[in-house]
Structure 1
């Protein structure tokens, strides 16, 4: 079996997990609609629906902080397998439950699965795949998420919500099977000093070519140097364990602070956080949730039903863009896609805002212009945002963190995702009411501009580069040693 096929097999487990997340994201709309239409076994109040919809974020944060512990202790493969368990349990609770408390429990379980999966998925794909395929594989996550939402809505329109839950539960089940048949990440095995196992896993998933051998051996040699440093550090620490307990505690705190000061840690963290903010405030969740309200204001229509076909066009474009993005990620440089997409998104949002202000001032009067121009600008915005910024959210967060801090960095950055989601979704209706959609678009444009400028200054090109090479670029080195930051810092503190 060719390495590409094996890598695709491993990635398909993560992709199916994301499809399952998309189903969970779209399922509440199916549940609420059917219960309200049929009367159902449960009567939901507005308070109930708000709780059912929002508790995912609470457990998502919990899962974000558990995930790195699982990744570090048990490995990427086992952590990935564990993340499917609460997802499957959540669907089972939906099938057998007929109370509000059961629905909330199911959503809590789905939130936990989401929190466990979010830091893990991008790291797993980045470590298993070749640099030339990494961007395309990570880009499939945007498709998987949208596909899951679409499927849950389609099935919910023709099946009962219980049967829909049964069908959706197939995704974590299939993902479990694929993950169980996949090897452990060679990067994690190397980090644990299991070099023979790492070689076998690496050859299975990446092949045995000369370039692959050099990449693996460079990683192993760097880890061997780390183990030597760590061994010497532990000996020194043990020697003074009882006499210098307070000093050890202080040194530990200094170590943590110094980790955050390391260029190879804080730069990727800032980049990932900025990327997540761009993802949220660029409209990744706001447009699907409030798109009809936005289009009603932009197109100046009296009723939501007047923008039905326009909303469908935007949804269709979003799906098409997710597919096209894979080819863009395979062909063009990351920075080229990021800043081209970012600039066009900012310009299109600003153009929509300016047009609305001018229209409200009576500058435009012709009917065709009032329909064609704003819809054209919304199409331009959708293409600009969904072709670049949406898929790159997964890609960049999966590529930039060094091996020593990959779990910690991914957790730190993704912990900003849920607050960003909550802030963007909660503030959007208030902004639309107070300053209008046109004012809100200017706020979003300014937010995106600041984040893009920060990433322009910090983000190196990552396309077709090994994770080791990317790590070296953050350190300011062109090539050379992999410095194991935590062990070296401890050694320096003890020596001093």
Structure 2
């Protein structure tokens, strides 16, 4: 069954909010690494969720796996840590371009729909320009899994940068005289960059996970989310500096992506992939660089290569009969979390979060924000980046449900406040700061829950054998809902007015609170097997006991 949802290496999900969910499972073949891991945040449960590369991917073997996490892995020295961090950072520079592509419509839309400019897009054309990437991202994700296996991690990063440069170049030299030609050029460019965004969803995280020592892996795989947010913030800032012509922004983004392409050249290829392709000598050579070991025939390097080779052999000999995906979907431990996560994504999309991210500048005008709309977009990007960092600590302490409840409540209050400001304008009063404060508060509260949790929890709630398929199916649903709301937003504003659109978003957020309270499970402090048992109807895990076990690991 061919699908984006079932890539060979890993399932990594991206949305315009910049959050990436990385899922390794039995269903996701890592080209010889043989790890089962859910990388979401660096909370106390990371160790309980990770089966090291030299251990079997069996949920029941978690405790034994944790006890030998470092077996077969060269020890982490300071020099090796610096080398691995630099390699992961360089690989993730590619993701900054993807973040730029996500946020670009926000800063281009103002000029493209301005009737005083030489070429103007219609409302329908502008909405296609903003939303088309949501449809193309899953296809890029499908292509990513294929390329990672066939050509390797490093060459896949090359492909992403080359495709992105082509997209930025098309927009940089887009027509200045013919609106119909401009529209075609923009759609072609956005289709290309949509594929690039989906394509970039996997390689950097996979590369970081495979070159990093287990002690660094969790932190380094989180670089992807941060780099996406940085990319969005950068493109918002460039839009503020070059608000008269978005083509300059495209040129700068294209040059940046070209530089990113050059920085990939010195990166060593993943030893895990090389072993999977029966190139142990090359794998050993690059592993020595990554582990900062100069000696030939070093015992730690030999041991790690042997561990990787054993995993390859074990994986190739472990083919067993598996029931079809459709049969698996009928099981309660699958259809229950699938239903919950799809509904959670529905509330996420229709509460207006992605509308603000993609239409940040024009939305600020609709909301009556007093400051420059491009500066408002910068505030949106900055708030999102800062809150994403805070979210990792908040989730560690409070779990998933409390932040989600607070997030929905805050979002609803902010949207109701914006609706009130639309009915009773405050632009020419001493209270003209209120819409700006409400917009920033909305992004802050959204990032604490509704913006981030659907993606992170999507990696936790499914059984291992179906996780790749089910998680991907959920993300595909989320992309579809994203396309619908982004395409519909301009029409909604024209049809029912700003105040009613804001009211609609607020009511959806309010209903989302009810959904979270009654249906969203708490996953903090529970192993993946505990969560699976919970949905199957078995005994629910004791969170405190699991936390204690994880802290000892």
TM-score (norm 1): 0.66
* Shift in alpha-carbon separation, 1:212–1:75, aligned structure 2, 3 A: same
Which residue pairs with 1:182 in the alignment?
267
Contact 1:36 1:43 in 2 (8 A): yes
SS of the residue corresponding to residue 118 of structure 1 reads: coil
Contact 1:91 1:168 in 2 (8 A): yes
Which residue pairs with 1:166 in the alignment?
251
CA displacement at 1:284 relative to structure 2: 3.3
* Shift in alpha-carbon separation, 1:24–1:456, aligned structure 2, 3 A: closer
* Shift in alpha-carbon separation, 1:108–1:139, aligned structure 2, 3 A: closer
* Shift in alpha-carbon separation, 1:446–1:26, aligned structure 2, 3 A: same
Contact 2:174 2:185 in 1 (8 A): yes
RMSD: 5.2
Contact 1:321 1:386 in 2 (8 A): yes
Which residue pairs with 1:154 in the alignment?
240
* Shift in alpha-carbon separation, 1:227–1:327, aligned structure 2, 3 A: same
SS of the residue corresponding to residue 141 of structure 2 reads: helix
CA separation in 1, counterparts of 2:171 and 2:420?
A: 49
CA separation in 2, counterparts of 1:10 and 1:370?
A: 46
Q: Does 1:80 align with 2:157?
A: yes
CA separation in 2, counterparts of 1:144 and 1:121?
A: 15
CA separation in 1, counterparts of 2:302 and 2:520?
A: 33
CA separation in 1, counterparts of 2:109 and 2:417?
A: 39
Contact 2:384 2:444 in 1 (8 A): yes
Contact 1:27 1:152 in 2 (8 A): no
Which residue pairs with 1:316 in the alignment?
379
CA displacement at 1:11 relative to structure 2: 3.3
CA separation in 1, counterparts of 2:199 and 2:149?
A: 13
CA separation in 1, counterparts of 2:333 and 2:302?
A: 25
Tell me the alpha carbon deviations over residues 293-330 of structure 1, each in whole angstroms, 9 at most, x when there is no partner. 877898xxxxx3x633799568526514513533652x
Which residue pairs with 1:344 in the alignment?
406
Which residue pairs with 1:144 in the alignment?
230
- Shifted more, 86-95 versus 393-402: the winner is 393-402
The number of aligned residues is: 435
CA separation in 2, counterparts of 1:216 and 1:423?
A: 48
Contact 1:23 1:148 in 2 (8 A): no
Q: Is there any run of 5+ residues in structure 2 with no aligned partner, and where?
A: 1-78, 176-180, 294-298, 534-553
CA displacement at 1:27 relative to structure 2: 5.4
Which residue pairs with 1:115 in the alignment?
198
Contact 1:314 1:379 in 2 (8 A): no
Contact 2:348 2:450 in 1 (8 A): yes
State which of 443, 456, 462 in structure 2 corresponds to 1:382.
443
Contact 1:348 1:377 in 2 (8 A): no
Tell me the alpha carbon deviations over residues 228-254 of structure 1, each in whole angstroms, 9 at most, x when there is no partner. 233xx6xxxxxxxxxxxxxxxxx88x4
Contact 1:83 1:117 in 2 (8 A): yes
State which of 341, 349, 369 in structure 2 corresponds to 1:280.
349
CA displacement at 1:424 relative to structure 2: 2.6
Tell me the alpha carbon deviations over residues 76-96 of structure 1, each in whole angstroms, 9 at most, x when there is no partner. 333333222221111222344
State which of 475, 486, 511 in structure 2 corresponds to 1:425.
486
Contact 1:135 1:326 in 2 (8 A): no
CA displacement at 1:168 relative to structure 2: 1.2
Q: Does 1:227 align with 2:316?
A: yes
* Shift in alpha-carbon separation, 1:124–1:64, aligned structure 2, 3 A: same
State which of 56, 63, 69 in structure 1 corresponds to 2:140.
63
Which residue pairs with 1:488 in the alignment?
none
CA separation in 2, counterparts of 1:51 and 1:358?
A: 29
CA separation in 2, counterparts of 1:439 and 1:169?
A: 38
Which residue pairs with 2:108 in the alignment?
30
SS of the residue corresponding to residue 308 of structure 1 reads: coil
Contact 2:404 2:453 in 1 (8 A): no
Contact 2:271 2:286 in 1 (8 A): yes
SS of the residue corresponding to residue 157 of structure 1 reads: coil
CA separation in 2, counterparts of 1:392 and 1:134?
A: 20
Contact 2:130 2:487 in 1 (8 A): no
Which residue pairs with 1:10 in the alignment?
88
Tell me the alpha carbon deviations over residues 419-471 of structure 1, each in whole angstroms, 9 at most, x when there is no partner. 121223345563864955234312133236536865535x4559xxxxxxx76
* Shift in alpha-carbon separation, 1:369–1:294, aligned structure 2, 3 A: farther
SS of the residue corresponding to residue 307 of structure 1 reads: coil
Which residue pairs with 1:241 in the alignment?
none
* Shift in alpha-carbon separation, 1:115–1:265, aligned structure 2, 3 A: farther
Q: Select the structure that is richer in helix.
A: 1
CA separation in 1, counterparts of 2:265 and 2:434?
A: 52
Tell me the alpha carbon deviations over residues 259-310 of structure 1, each in whole angstroms, 9 at most, x when there is no partner. 6579998899778767755653454322245668877898xxxxx3x63379
Contact 2:403 2:448 in 1 (8 A): yes
Q: Is there any run of 5+ residues in structure 1 with no aligned partner, and where?
A: 234-250, 299-303, 363-367, 463-469, 477-496
The 5 Å alignment of 1:150-299 reads: 150-157=236-243, 160-185=245-270, 188=273, 204-205=289-290, 223-230=312-319, 254-257=323-326, 277=346, 280-288=349-357
* Shift in alpha-carbon separation, 1:133–1:280, aligned structure 2, 3 A: same
TM-score (norm 2): 0.60
CA separation in 2, counterparts of 1:421 and 1:150?
A: 20
CA displacement at 1:169 relative to structure 2: 0.6
CA separation in 1, counterparts of 2:500 and 2:115?
A: 35
State which of 506, 509, 515 in structure 2 corresponds to 1:444.
509
